[in-house]
Amino acid sequence: MSDWSEGVFETLISTGVRQAAYVPDMGLKKLIDLCIAHDAMTTIALTTEEEGMGVLGGAWMGGDRGVLLMQSSGVGNCINMLSLTQSCKFPLLMIVTMRGQYKEFNSWQMPMGQNAQEILKLAGVTARMIDEMDAVAPAVADAAEEVFAENACIAVMVHQKLMPVKTFGK
pLDDT at 100 over 70: no
Give the residue extent of every domain in the chain.
5-162
CATH number of the structural domain 5-162:
3.40.50.970
Percent of the chain predicted with pLDDT > 70: 89
Whole-prediction pTM: 0.91
Q: How far apart are CA 109 and CA 96, in angstroms?
A: 14
Q: What is the pLDDT of residue 114?
A: 85
Q: What is the pLDDT of residues 50-66, one digit of tens each?
A: 999 999 999 999 999 99
